[in-house]
Chain A
Amino acid sequence: MLPEFQSVRAKTKAEALSAVSTLEHVKIIAGGTDLMVRMRRGELCTHIVDISGLSEIRGIETNGPMIVVGAGATHRDVSMSRIINENVPSLSRACGQVGSPQIRNMGTIGGNLVNASPAADSLAPLLIHDASLILESEGGTREERLEDFIVRPYETSIRDDEMLSFIHIKPLKGYREGYKRVTKRATWSISRLSVAWAIKEEGGCYMDVKIAVGSCTPMPFRAKEVEQFLVGRNIEEGVIREAGKMIVDEIRRITGERPSFVYKLPVLKGILHEVLRG
């Protein structure tokens, strides 16, 4: 059973912002694939603002050098978008692997970010692209880097009167880029481990490397120590092995020891090895 609540179906962004700033105990609902499940488990609220009909925040466009993704774009919208496929292929792959066809038709990228699960698939790709988020309220608009937005698992800096409206992404030209996740089964399972990467190479040497790892630390993180270590080094076995050791050490330092690490970390090393070798 769902709790008793009153809902507003916002038709415009202005209507949604007005509702979230005036109503008490209010929650935004987009696809509902996280919130409906949480409410069934007992999470309460007295008002719901349904933003699933807001076409204003559903588009995916280029704006100068920037890709602008509406927070209301579904995982299906993102994974089918040519703009995303050409400019942010890791995100295209990640959103295309979320849940099941049903979940991808419903769940949005905005909901994925605001829910802020450590296993959220869109996070690692957006982290390697240094994405930033546009948060709007009746009081104004602010922009925050994704890296700062998530405070801890399932908690972000968003205020009750704010709505996430857009995600700004910078394409990484000249990089080879991808996303890989490991799950217990292909569909429905959340990621037990995920890696997004973008690598620029020249003359047998790493020019620039961006790596983000999901589901190993309280929130997906950029492995910046390894990234810095690799820049300027030759693409060779010893370097790659050292990078694998470093990433595992970095994760252990952040998270401590976890029973699952016996399985996870060797797999992570394996994926990293494949990715760095190219």
Chain B
Amino acid sequence: MKNIKFTLNGKTVKLEVRDNETLLHTLRERLDVKSVKEGCSIGECGVCTVLIDNEPHCSCLTLASKVDGHDVKTVEFLGSEEALHPLQEAFIRAGAVQCGYCTPGMLLSAYSLLLRTKDPTDDEIREAISGNLCRCTGYIQIIEAVKDVAGISECKG
């Protein structure tokens, strides 16, 4: 077992994790963050995406002990049901959400891009979300949503 301490969506979390526990398991089963999904479990689909120090990572391939001392963000960081983030609003406006399974990971990858690049090109957007599979939208609406919000959102790490 390992005692770890990290920030999750701005709050300090301290807990004991098993040595072979994945961050995905810790988040879903122990901290009740169900927006982070389990998909392929081998790093291909992107539904388990979380931001570690503001960069997208696959939580299914990350041992929980690795985030000791780091910053972890899930989609809950962006906004709540009552107060959505402009990026989330843009997703709704553009019809970028259909079944919704990929959405939390997709939002995080897009958010991470906007933190780095205020006004990304289409290619930069495509590149940034290329690790998140969406089987509903065909990506066009997602790219539109990110473009729509680029420059206007007050993205802060």
The answer to whether A9 touches B131, judged by C-beta atoms less than 8 angstroms apart, is: no
Contact of B46 among A2, A9, A76, A100 (CB under 8 A): A100
* A contact residues around B52 at 8 Å (CB): 105
Number of B residues, CB within 8 Å of A: 27
Determine whether B122 belongs to the interface, using a CB cutoff of 8 Å to chain A.
no
The answer to whether A37 touches B19, judged by C-beta atoms less than 8 angstroms apart, is: no
Q: How many A-B residue pairs have CB under 8 A?
A: 81
Render B42-71 as a binary contact track against A, CB cut-off 8 A, 1 for contact: 111010010010011110111101101000
Shortest CB distance A112–B (Å): 14
Render A75-116 as a binary contact track against B, CB cut-off 8 A, 1 for contact: 010000000000000000000000111110110000000000
Chain B interface secondary structure, helix, strand, loop or mixed? mixed
Determine whether B109 belongs to the interface, using a CB cutoff of 8 Å to chain A.
yes
Which A residue's beta carbon lies closest to that of B105?
A102
Q: Give 10 new A-B contacts, CB below 8 A, not counting A32-B66, A106-B62.
A: A4-B20, A5-B20, A7-B63, A9-B2, A36-B63, A48-B19, A102-B46, A102-B49, A106-B61, A187-B130
Q: Which 9 A-B pairs have the closest CB atoms?
A: A100-B131, A187-B130, A7-B19, A36-B61, A102-B131, A2-B20, A105-B55, A37-B42, A102-B58
Where the two chains meet, the residues of B that have a C-beta atom closer than 8 Å to any C-beta of A are: 2, 19-20, 22, 41-44, 46, 49, 52, 55-58, 60-63, 65-66, 68, 109, 127-128, 130-131
Where the two chains meet, the residues of A that have a C-beta atom closer than 8 Å to any C-beta of B are: 2-7, 9, 29, 31-33, 36-37, 40, 48, 50, 52-53, 76, 99-103, 105-106, 186-188
